[in-house]
Structure 1
Amino acid sequence: MIKKGAKRSRTSEHLSPVLCEPHLQTFADSAVKVAASEDLLIEILLHVPVKTLMSFKCVSKQWLSLITDPHFVRLRNPPSLSASASALFFASSSSKRCDPDYQFIPLDNSSDEFPTPFKTLNFIDDPLGSGISVLQSCSGLLLCASYRAGEANRRYYVHNPTTGQYTTLPQITRKYSKYVCSMTLAYDPVKSPYYKVVCVRRSETSRQHFQIEIYSSQTQLWRVSGQPFIPPEYTEFQNSIYWNGSVHWWNGSIHWWNGFVYGGARFKRRESYTLYFKVEEERVEQLPMPTTPWYRIASYVGESEGHWHLIERYSDFNSVFNVYELKRDYSGWFMKYQVDISDISIQFPEIFKYRCTLDVISLVRRGKEDEEDGSFLVLEIPGGMIIRYNLMDKSVKKLWEFVPDRKLYNDDCLRHVCALPYIESLACF
């Protein structure tokens, strides 16, 4: 083997090195055959761990070309609706003066076996000097933004935490940038290697009207989509590290959450429907919400393995969770699971000790439609514990326990926290 920086001889370019030991000579001959067969090399690289694979890009230009080739990426990560989170990022900051911290929690393996992609985002030195936060996780890519910056100056980035690659989005027309309400990433590797970013901003002519603009990674340009529209009252457009329940990408559409609002001594439903935007058709539609009693409130909305879920609980005490799933043709909702926390309190009696409600962090689907024994809820128990609750056999497993600190956790519960799914992806851009 020739060391990096060493000068190759004319002989070494054409002949295999002569080794004294026969078994070493056999090994060298095998290595030469592997290097000479691109198909065999690809077959081997397909089974190499992702972290090692990223290091292998430095071996040679040939290996770099193979690993970053779109065909290899599709072989290694076949586009599928079944992509499921292998870990969660817990993002938090208790002060506008502090950059967000990210606690990486594997859902299956220990933290030693699953290396942490990052603690803080430093893939670029943000020119505004404000740090960077994650707004959204979508099919393995992260939509990021300048953290402490006014909207008119904020920079947006798309980042792949698996490969370390990123791109800086061009700003929309300067005179409209101060009206931006939301940026949402739309990426479906099943349909295209390109992603889009959908911007919702207020119309320059009326604060009641909103306008959509779309950025395409294929054209690298922004363009206005459709006519201004008026959304239902209380529609949540804003992405934020403090709230991960308002904007969702699912089934080729972006969904803006419209839930409940306090009214008098009890909860009152805002609207019987919410909005979604079909990205390919560039059309805003209305989505009816589940019809449930006033005393139930939505505590979680999210997507997993191509399924969109809404979880409701009683407003006074969350003894029972009703988990609804939306049909892919948008024809209606149906109850998928019902969870009674008394099953959990047997193993974790501190649920009642703190007299607090359980917080639903995430719902993770695993397996095929008829094999759901791997699906589970990720819950926070007051006192700093994160657990996973199997929705079929009702088993409980502790994933993590936070130590109280100023930024992420206090004596009672997680503060200002959202959980972002982590999905390994070799997507290149």
Structure 2
Amino acid sequence: MENSAEKIGNSQDILTHLLLRLPTKSLLKFKCVSKQWLSTISNPQFCLSHTRHRQHNGFLEPTALLLKPYLTANLEFDMVPLKHYSEVPFFHYLNTSGIILRESCDGLFLCQPLDFHDHGDTRFFICNPTTKKFKILSFPSKPPTFVNLAFDPLKSLHYKVICIRPAVSDEDYDFEINIYSSETETWTATGIDFEADEESIMFEGIMFEDTVVFCNGKIHWDSVGNESLYFDVEKECLQKMPMPTLPDGSDIISDMDRYFGEARGTLYIALAHYNLGHVDLYVFEMATDYSNWFLKRRLDLDDAMRVFPEIKLGCLLSFSGLSGLCFIQSEKEKEPKVVMWADGKIICYDFNDGSWKMLYDPGPGVKIGSNQIKGLNHLHRQRFLAFKYFENLSCI
């Protein structure tokens, strides 16, 4: 037996195949076993192979959801486990008093420090909370207007950062796109520029900052107008795409009543509409050729309240009681689940069987988010942003 164990331990191929099958958290501990194990587990190619080993039908599945109160910059999150409960000290290692979490992308996060105004330039963090590794990304010239992250570990161990900044021109609202590559650690200009006035970006048009989805190698931006844009990262081209509207032409009160996301490579938008205590959620799916959105389902949230009587939606004027909505894969087939924070509980609608389910209940009398925001006298008023967390070894 000792001879067999020694042979296995001395075979790098066998050791690698064994380690690839271990959980991510175990591998982080096993770095301390020996220099050989440390070298193997730290190798970027091994990290990539370990991530790919955990794909399911060609897609990664999130380990958890992070709920962050809207318009706050603390380092704490409510964590909603999707696979197993995992305690992660998110972002404390960044040595900053607070962060603005901009984007989650297949295991990597794009963050901006709360105190960025104290520095001469605008800084961003690219970080992996699982490994507690991060990189500070600075910009070579004038600060960017918008920054987005593109990372697909099933295709490459490298990521790209897309920067939209004012172009060098006489026009006030000309913008250009530059790209940072982690492979070369350099910035390049795409030669792409476009014109947009301040109102169309910040008030009644494309939302480049908070509602971005990286999917199928493209960065997609939400818009409250009739059209939006998406950027093909590999081809470096900017394209237009249509946007959905409610079937009856009703208005959505605010951008917090719309939710843009993806599951298994498909884009979805949900529009929440509530009136006199009644809440409807219209779920749209994008056609594969980007030609149009079709209405997948109108969800009457009264049905959810009948399944979960402890949840009250639409009981306050101008506050629906739902937030932090996102789309995740279902356990069966290709249909998604629509996950939402609903009056302090995490519920979902499963398109596979057309039923409302409790995705995560923290326990009797406990409501998620009840201690997050001070000054709000009603949990129903709170707003949350939801970020997918993928537990993996992806390198920075």
TM bin (shorter chain) = 0.7 to 0.9
- List per-residue Cα deviations over 1:53-93 (Å, max 9, x = no partner): 11111222211222233443343221855212221111237
Unaligned residue ranges in structure 2 (runs of 5+): none
**How many Å separate the matches in 2 of 1:283 and 1:197?**
15
Determine if the alignment matches structure 1 residue 83 to structure 2 residue 94.
no
Structure-1 residue corresponding to 2:94: 124
Structure-2 residue corresponding to 1:231: 196
- List per-residue Cα deviations over 1:77-134 (Å, max 9, x = no partner): 2185521222111123766xx634222211244xxxx222224x122335xxx53332
Paired residues in the alignment total 369
Structure-2 residue corresponding to 1:144: 111
Determine if the alignment matches structure 1 residue 255 to structure 2 residue 223.
no
The structure-2 alpha-carbon separation of the partners of 1:306 and 1:381, relative to structure 1 and needing over 3 Å to count, comes to same
Structure-2 residue corresponding to 1:347: 307
Determine if the alignment matches structure 1 residue 405 to structure 2 residue 371.
yes
What amino acid sits opposite 2:193 in the alignment?
A: P
Determine if the alignment matches structure 1 residue 185 to structure 2 residue 185.
no
What TM-score, normalized by structure 1, do the two folds share?
0.77
Q: Alignment partner for residue 233 of structure 2, among 279, 290, 307?
A: 279
Shift of 1:220: 0.7
Determine if the alignment matches structure 1 residue 303 to structure 2 residue 262.
yes
**How many Å separate the matches in 1 of 2:93 and 2:327?**
29
**Structure 1 segment 201-216 matched on structure 2, within 5 A:** 201-205=165-169, 206-216=171-181
Structure-1 residue corresponding to 2:130: 162
Structure-1 residue corresponding to 2:346: 386
What TM-score, normalized by structure 2, do the two folds share?
0.83
Q: Is the 8 A contact 1:117 1:161 kept in 2?
A: yes
Determine if the alignment matches structure 1 residue 424 to structure 2 residue 387.
no
User: What SS is found at the alignment partner of 1:101?
Assistant: coil
- List per-residue Cα deviations over 1:222-254 (Å, max 9, x = no partner): 122224311372334453xxxx4x222122222
The alignment-based identity, stated in percent, is: 30
What amino acid sits opposite 1:166 in the alignment?
A: F
Structure-1 residue corresponding to 2:283: 323
Shift of 1:423: 1.0
The structure-2 alpha-carbon separation of the partners of 1:402 and 1:204, relative to structure 1 and needing over 3 Å to count, comes to same
The structure-2 alpha-carbon separation of the partners of 1:418 and 1:412, relative to structure 1 and needing over 3 Å to count, comes to same
Structure-2 residue corresponding to 1:194: 158
Structure 1 stretch displaced more, 40-49 or 79-88: 79-88
- List per-residue Cα deviations over 1:335-388 (Å, max 9, x = no partner): 3344232321113234258355242521212357x453xx32222222x22223
Q: Is the 8 A contact 1:93 1:100 kept in 2?
A: no
How large is the RMSD of aligned CA atoms in angstroms?
2.7
Shift of 1:395: 3.8
**How many Å separate the matches in 2 of 1:88 and 1:48?**
22
Q: Alignment partner for residue 320 of structure 2, among 324, 346, 357?
A: 357
**How many Å separate the matches in 2 of 1:388 and 1:58?**
40
**How many Å separate the matches in 1 of 2:263 and 2:62?**
8
Q: Alignment partner for residue 39 of structure 2, among 65, 77, 80?
A: 65
Greater than 6 Å deviation, 4+ residue runs: none
The structure-2 alpha-carbon separation of the partners of 1:341 and 1:222, relative to structure 1 and needing over 3 Å to count, comes to same
Structure 1 stretch displaced more, 353-362 or 29-38: 353-362
